[in-house]
Amino acid sequence: NAGVMQNPRHLVRRRGQEARLRCSPMKGHSHVYWYRQLPEEGLKFMVYLQKENIIDESGMPKERFSAEFPKEGPSILRIQQVVRGDSAAYFCASSPPVGDEQYFGPGTRLTVT
């Protein structure tokens, strides 16, 4: 089992561009979580998804951010019209259908220039 995969590992975008971050959960896992880590901060929960459903998006900024976890393929975190403040490490985690242990990916480091 390869573990949670995230790509790209590093992403550079200019202000105003779009960023798309991908997360492939561990095999057999149906729950996906996205977290953001700003410099010198802990991880902040953004959104929790199951296949084709957003379960909890209480941590998502109201504008420009969206997430999906389609029936087929990876989960996508999309940031439109990026700003410098979006520069951060974005981590994805997955958990199995039963149980709550979350397994983390290596993260995507987004830099907005």
Partner 1 sequence: AQRVTQPEKLLSVFKGAPVELKCNYSYSGSPELFWYVQYSRQRLQLLLRHISRESIKGFTADLNKGETSFHLKKPFAQEEDSAMYYCALSRAGGGADGLTFGKGTHLIIQP
| Residue range at the interface with partner 1 (CB under 8 A); choices 12-20, 42-50, 70-78, 80-88 | 42-50
Q: Is 74 in the site for partner 1 (CB under 8 A)?
A: no
Contact in structure between 21 and 108 (CB atoms under 8 Å): yes
Q: Which of 10, 16, 51, 55 binds partner 1 (CB under 8 A)?
A: 55
| Burial of 76 from C-beta contacts in 10 A (0-12 / 13-18 / 19+) | middle
Q: Is 65 in the site for partner 1 (CB under 8 A)?
A: no
Q: Is 31 in the site for partner 1 (CB under 8 A)?
A: yes
Between residues 68 and 103, which has the closer beta carbon with respect to partner 1? 103
Residues 43, 66: Cα–Cα separation, whole Å: 18
The owner of tokens 């830099």 is 111
